[in-house]
Amino acid sequence: MPLSGHSPVRAIVVAGLIAGLIAGLSAGLFGLAVGESNIDGAVAVESSMEAGAARHDHGAHATAASDQKPLVSRGTQHLGLVVATALYGLAIGGLLALAFAFMRGRTGHRSDRRLALGLTAAVFVAAVAVPFLKYPANPPGVGDPETIGYRTELYLAMVAGCLAALVAAWRLSMLVPARRRAQRALAGASTFAALTALLALGLPAIGEVPAGFPSGLLSDFRLASIGLQLMLWSVLALCFAALVSRRLTRPTAPRP
């Protein structure tokens, strides 16, 4: 591999990582501004419910139920939010860039910018939006700690299944001639909708919101979660499209 690196894959991956980092940081700041008050509220509700049940939970939530000092303070967890979303954005940006590198020149897109925007939007729908409809985000205090392994498996199955449905829908839509753009888009969208609907019907439902958990807090938290994901993926799409089209069209001038 030439170390000086005029490989288009290198340019695409770097664009994806930079865009992902920017997107993750933006989403983290959005979460600090909008989401943290709901998490703080939920932690307080959880603690009081635990104090009532005298039940022990892990880490930062155990404050009221026991005298144990939490491993990480709530203030540090606020900082951790931004670190978590930044790392998540970085990983998503890199993976998206590799998918872009594979698809470039293989799908009949009209420009790098269009491919980047379309791919990011499609992956957002498959990996985030549709799984959220089946298994929405939950604040601390919602969900039985006993079933965490089971719920994680279901969530991952839903995400993986939706991504597989996206690939299947893409392959099927490519069978429609490119000049029939509307029919091609329709074929892809309807295949994706049908497959994910079957998946959602097939996977078991989870209803573990404890009685007495404030419903306003729950819906506010979920709204904040949707907002954070929208922020992350829209910034990612815009930055990735701008960076990748610029880096790929830049003339490969010899370095001084």
Partner 1 sequence: MRSTEAASIEAGPAVAEPIPLRELARWLWLVPVLLLVAYVVGMDQGVISRSGMYLHEFMHDGRHLLAVPCH
**167 is a site residue for partner 1 (CB under 8 A):** no
- Window 200 to 229, contacts with partner 1 (CB under 8 A): 221, 224-225, 228-229
**88 is a site residue for partner 1 (CB under 8 A):** yes
**Which residue stretch of 81-89, 160-168, 194-202, 235-243 sits at the interface with partner 1 (rule: CB under 8 A)?**
81-89
What percentage of the chain's residues is helix, strand, coil (to nearest 5)? Answer: 75, 0, 25
The site map against partner 1 for 129-148 (x = CB under 8 A) is --xx--xxxxxx--x-x--x
Nearer to partner 1, 72 or 194 (CB): 72
Nearer to partner 1, 101 or 241 (CB): 101
Give 161's contacts (C-beta < 8 A, 6+ positions apart): 195, 196, 199, 203
- Which position among 51, 53, 102, 197 is part of the footprint of partner 1 (CB under 8 A)? 102
- Which tokens belong to 131? 């799984």
What is the number of alpha carbons within 13 Å of residue 181 lying toward its C-beta?
Answer: 3
The letter for the amino acid at 7 is: S
**36 is a site residue for partner 1 (CB under 8 A):** yes
**41 is a site residue for partner 1 (CB under 8 A):** no
**104 is a site residue for partner 1 (CB under 8 A):** yes
d(CA 169, CA 191): 5
**109 is a site residue for partner 1 (CB under 8 A):** yes
Q: Can you tell me whether residue 9 is helix, strand or coil?
A: helix
Give 136's contacts (C-beta < 8 A, 6+ positions apart): 222, 225
Q: Can you tell me whether residue 162 is helix, strand or coil?
A: helix
Contact 31, 224 (CB under 8 A): yes
**Which residue stretch of 82-90, 165-173, 193-201, 211-219 sits at the interface with partner 1 (rule: CB under 8 A)?**
82-90
Contact 86, 233 (CB under 8 A): no
**107 is a site residue for partner 1 (CB under 8 A):** yes
- Least distance CB 178 / partner 1 (angstroms): 3
The letter for the amino acid at 225 is: S
User: Binding residues for partner 1, how many (CB under 8 A)?
Assistant: 72
Nearer to partner 1, 101 or 165 (CB): 101
